Structure 1
Amino acid sequence: MRCRHALWHALSLYSFLPHVFAGNNTLAQDPITSLCVEIAHSISSAGQVFFPGDPSYDAGIFHFAVSSTQQSKCVVEPGTPEDVGKILVILGRTRTPFAVKGGGHATNVGFSSTLGVHIAMSRFSEVNYNSSSQTADVGAGLVWDDVYAALEPFGVNVVGGRVTGIGVAGFTLGGGYSWKSNQFGLAVDNVIAFELVLPNGRITTVTEKSDPSLFFGLKGGENNFGIVTKFKLKTFPQTEVWGGSIDFLGSNLDAINNATIAFQAVTDPKAAIIASYGSTPALPEPLVNVLMFYDAPNPPPGIFDAFLAIPSLDSNIGTRSFLSLVQSAPSNSLQGLRSVYQGFPILSFTAGIAEVIVNETLFWGERLLNQSLFDISYSVEIFLPSVYSHNSAKTAYPPVRNIGFQPFNIACAWNSSEFDSVFHDAVVASSAHIHNAAIAQGQTGLTRSPIYPNYAVSGTPLADMYGSNLPALRALKARVDPENVMGLAGGWKF
């Protein structure tokens, strides 16, 4: 089988080469395209290079948000860590812009896309469960749906994404808030080891003992220190769960606000919600979607009763597998649109903050209606104040663990590239307004509360995400990547 694959790889490359080097073909004059051919020659038969016009190229550059997709010169799918090392050496030597894509859920343009060489990690797709160590080795090219499906037969799970289609790598390297975070912390709190390809091409396994400062930096420091090919994660027993998605019309806003505010008094770590206040041209009034989760087949009486008593427009609440619950979330309805996120921390969801968020939903929904708006939503994510207490060691994110801030998020979706800057500016202005209103209402601890990197819109100052950790992260970056190879890729750069 390997021989057949190698032969097909060679024939595919051979069939492309005449088109690259033929006479006056413009591809022959393009140095990055020629570099793609050099990479194809250099990597093993386990990897492959694709060019525009190939369906695998289209799959490689695909992003959940169409605004995050760029037309690279080629897509490289490395098949081994050694392939990744060779690619990084070539890119660093030639100072070629590149991108690294796991699941493709980033909404900032250029964070996992490029006009240069696009590295798609899709071939790093193994999930190996070790029952004796209670760990799972998870490939960096997977989405969490794949991981949950692979672990389900063993009756175990990991701390991963809450909705369908989220990539393992970006989620974990940025921090990672999960349905299981109240019980076990963030994704970064549950990584035991990283298989990392350093910017100089060397492959290493990073643990707390092998390199404490690099271990710290990888836990929330995004793609600054190389390319992670595999994560070793803690696993936990997993039964069926209860929950799903429920939609309410804005005519019930008072009841929804009261139920969400009251939910903050729930101390059961198995319970969690996300309440998203939205506006869409398809409806004449606001729409509120609530995702509910309980980490057992049925919740104790009382935890979700206030929500369930409100008349709903639609609901799929029930007992199901963890994977089924994750896939019940309606996030795919926005796939193929242009999109932007912006995070803003909140200490407590109060009646005053609820009023501000509802007003922001209505104000921006109306103001952006003629700018090809499809949807705008404000997601209220409720975690226990103890969510950051599950790790005594420092991590790049969050930079503070003694403040129980909540990682709220604004999400916009629209149709036309003509209005990209309009929506970017809108989420920046709206998040600032909510932040300032919260401080004015007494939430002064927000001045030390960080923005979640995976929600932060492009242009967010690094200090707003990494706080007092920033000097240590910059020193680590200088040690690990003195030639700034990873600076050739997009993302938050130290």
Structure 2
Amino acid sequence: MLVALPRFQMLRLLGVLLPTLVAGLNARSVISSCEAIENAVSSASEVYWPLSIEYAEDIEHWASSSTDLATCSVEPGTTDDLGTILQILGSNQTPFAVKGGGHATNPGFSSTTGVQIAMSRFSEVAYDATTQTVDVGAGLIWDDVYAALEPLGVNVVGGRVSGVGVAGFSLGGGYSWLTNQYGLTVDNIIAYQLVLPNGTAIVVDSSVPDLLFALKGGYNNFGIVTRFTFKAVPQGQVWGGLITFTENELDAVNAATANFAESVTDPKAQIITTYNFLLGEPGVSQLLFYNAPTPPDGIFDEFLDIPYFTKDISTRSFVSLVQASPSNITGGTRGVFNTVSILSYDANILTAVLNETVFWGSRLSLLDTAVFISYDVEPFMTTLFSKAPASSAAYPPSRAQGLLPLNIYFAWLLPTSDETMQQSAVLSAQQLTNAAVADGQDVADASLYGNYAIAGTPVERIFGDNLDQLTATKQKYDPSNVMGLAGGWKVPV
């Protein structure tokens, strides 16, 4: 006998079945895992199904191309519940993903058609004045952290633009406005609260040296981090913000950027010079930063003397400066990152970057729905890796010389352009690597920053000689490869 289901039940059934059917997964198996989680977790946690507002928020990503239709989403509220969830997923071999801030651009790295774990309920920011440390929940974005710490006069070494998640950023390395002074983000983490694949929650600190090393740049291979404990650093008002320049000023911007990169040795001073192709022409978004209310004379004068299109420079709070540069000005478009590693940003490299901006901007905006082409030039002092011991972190795999990241970012509208955009980002990175090698820089096989690297990059390029050590740690703490059911930069078992 056929039974007519109420409309809301039919919609829920359709919403549940569609993602798994489209992905070719065993729909009943994944739904069973969702139901098992729903029945097993406490009231501190919640499972959500398609067509609910909470589900939509849980699966949403900064780049729409990184949003998958999960079979269900779950918001764990305690480490015990998260341990139960991992045990169910591992036992059933159910694909899953872990989303912190949702800023990953590689599809499937923090999204899935299986079970989406959203870490939003882990949202604490707690400063301990005695130990000079800050506990930060894995579900936050950096804006939240900076805003909470501002009244306390302290800060942590975190992200530089608005909207970036704490978890993925911190598990991958972390380049900060404070890096010249204090090192990478991983150099300033002293402990993690980690839920192991077997469901056990532990604190990982110096008493667990193999896991502490692995989590500092080793991503989601060893369990799920719910809390980071950072060293606190003093923080008052800063100076800086965003200036934009039009095409006719690009030669002057190139010269100013090269001079800054080659001559400025004040660790409180940093810039990001972003070459953009938008609305049919190139331009630059120039971020300036000084970690004090007023910079010394001369450091930024060359930039400030260039005629500008817009200018938002002032003495301000740290969070205000970060929010002066939103991480997505194109609003929910599809997107891809890729990267090259640079030893120095001289005039030859900057000319090559500008040429790439114009070439790909002109080419991809005509037929392939590109709306924004961007190359982020990020000069740091060459001593940026010297703030921590050589063997202290999975990333960088070598601290023998400082590597300066360059981020390639393409944004577009339609899924039909996905393959073209991915391939173009690969070709552009290779072209810039070739330009750096021709410039005398030994970077052909240099390690790459995983938070910028495109999917398909060999993990050896990210972890280098540390890969064997990470593999041994993986075999020790996740021998059944539960975390292999999630996407990301995967260490072999």
Are 2:423 and 1:421 aligned?
A: no
Aligned match of 1:143? 141
- Choose which of 118, 132, 135 in structure 2 pairs with 1:134: 132
1:106 partner SS: coil
Match of 1:317 among 306, 313, 316: 313
SS at match of 1:366: helix
Tell me whether 359-368 or 170-179 shows the greater mean CA deviation: 359-368
* 1:459–1:21 Cα change, 3 Å: closer
Deviation at 1:474, TM superposition (A): 1.2
- Tell whether the 8 Å contact from 1:63 to 1:106 is kept in structure 2 after alignment: yes
List per-residue Cα deviations over 1:442-493 (Å, max 9, x = no partner).
112x145311000000000111111111111111111111000000000000
Q: 3-state DSSP class of the match of 1:382?
A: coil
Residues 29 and 464 of structure 1, relative CA distance in 2, 3 Å threshold: closer
Give, in angstroms, the shift of residue 30 of structure 1. 2.5
Q: What is the distance in 2 between the residues matched to 1:104 and 1:167?
A: 7
Alignment partner of 1:250 out of 231, 240, 247: 247
Partner of 2:300: 304
> 3-state SS of the aligned residue for 1:389?
helix
How far does the alpha carbon of each residue in 1:299-353 deviate from its partner, in whole angstroms, 9 at most, with x for none?
Answer: 1110100000000111111111000000000423123100000011011111111
1:435 to 433, 438, 448: 433
Matching of residue 84 in structure 1 with residue 82 in structure 2: yes
Q: Which residue of 2 aligns with 1:225?
A: 222
Instruction: Output aligned runs, 1:194-209, within 5 Å.
Output: 194-208=192-206
Shift of 1:221: 0.3
Report the counterpart of residue 353 of structure 1 in structure 2: 349
Cα distance change of structure 1 residues 16 and 388 upon mapping to structure 2, 3 Å threshold: farther
Equivalents in 2 of 1:16, 1:150: separation in Å? 44
Q: 2:446 corresponds to which residue?
A: 449
Determine the structure 1 residue equivalent to 2:271: 273
Aligned mates of 1:129, 1:21 — CA distance in 2? 43
How many Å apart are 1:394 and its aligned residue? 2.4
Matches of 1:335 and 1:132 in 2, distance apart? Answer: 42
Equivalent residues of 1:346, 1:405 under 8 A apart:
yes
Structure 1 residues 332, 26: closer, same or farther in 2, change over 3 A? closer
DSSP-derived class of the 1:317 partner: strand
Q: Is the 8 A contact 1:403 1:449 kept in 2?
A: no
> Match of 1:480, as an amino acid?
Y
| Separation in structure 2 between the aligned mates of residue 489 and residue 331 of structure 1, nearest angstrom | 25
* Paired letter, 2:231: K
Aligned to 2:23: none
2:469 pairs with 1:472? yes
Structure 2 unaligned residues grouped into runs of 5+? 1-5, 19-25
1:98 aligns with 2:103: no
Matches of 1:96 and 1:335 in 2, distance apart?
32
**Higher mean C-alpha displacement, 128-137 vs 33-42:** 33-42
1:193 and 1:232 in contact (8 A); partners too: yes
Deviation by residue 1:283-310 (Cα, 9 ceiling, x = unmatched): 4x31111111100111111010000000
Asked if 1:343 corresponds to 2:354, the answer is no
Q: Deviations over 1:156-198 (max 9, x none)?
A: 0000000011111000000000000000000100001000000
Aligned CA RMSD, in angstroms, stands at 1.8
Distance 1:21 1:130, change over 3 A: closer
2:434–2:444: 8 Å Cα contact kept in structure 1? no
Distance 2:362 2:9 in 1: 54
CA distance in 1, matches of 2:259, 2:188: 30
| Pick aligned residue for 1:187 from 182, 185, 188 | 185
Structure 1 residue ranges without an equivalent (≥5): 1-14
Name the SS of the counterpart of 2:245 in structure 1: strand
Partner of 1:109: 107
Q: Partner of 1:273: helix, strand, or coil?
A: strand
Q: Residues 177 and 186 of structure 1 are in contact (CA less than 8 Å); yes or no, is this contact kept in structure 2? A: yes
1:326-405 aligned within 5 A? 326-369=322-365, 370-392=367-389, 393-405=391-403
Equivalent in 273, 279, 289 of residue 293 of structure 1? 289
Where does residue 7 of structure 1 map in the other structure? none
Does residue 1:60 correspond to 2:38, yes or no? no
Q: Which residue of 2 aligns with 1:9?
A: none
How much does 1:358 deviate? 1.1
Whether the aligned pair in 2 keeps the contact of 1:194 and 1:228 (CA below 8 Å) is yes
Once the two structures are TM-superposed, the CA of residue 418 in structure 1 deviates from its matched residue by 0.1
SS at match of 1:153: helix
Separation (CA, whole Å) in 2 of partners of 1:469 and 1:16: 54
Deviations 1:354-401 (A, max 9, x none): 121111111111111210010111110010011101101421000111
1:73 aligned residue (71, 74, 84): 71
Other-structure match for 1:216: 213
Q: Distance in 1 between matches of 2:326 and 2:168?
A: 21
User: In 2, Cα distance between the equivalents of 1:263 and 1:202?
Assistant: 49
Cα distance 1:55–1:20, how it changes in 2: closer, same or farther (>3 A)?
A: closer
CA change 1:287–1:20 in 2 (3 A) is closer
SS at match of 2:308: coil
Distance 1:29 1:359, change over 3 A: closer
Do residues 261 (structure 1) and 225 (structure 2) align? no
TM-score (norm 2): 0.94
Question: What amino acid is aligned across from residue 240 of structure 1 in structure 2?
Answer: Q
Q: Percent identity?
A: 54
Instruction: Report the CA distance between 1:19 and its aligned residue.
Output: 6.7
Distance in 2 of aligned mates of 1:74 and 1:16 = 19
- 1:31 deviation in Å? 2.5
SS at match of 2:287: strand
What is the alpha-carbon distance in structure 2 between the residues aligned to residue 203 and residue 336 of structure 1?
35
- Number of aligned positions between the proteins: 474
Query: 1:105, 1:207 → 2: CA distance?
Result: 26
Secondary structure of the 1:333 match is coil
The CA distance in 1 between the partners of 2:407 and 2:28, in whole Å, is 41
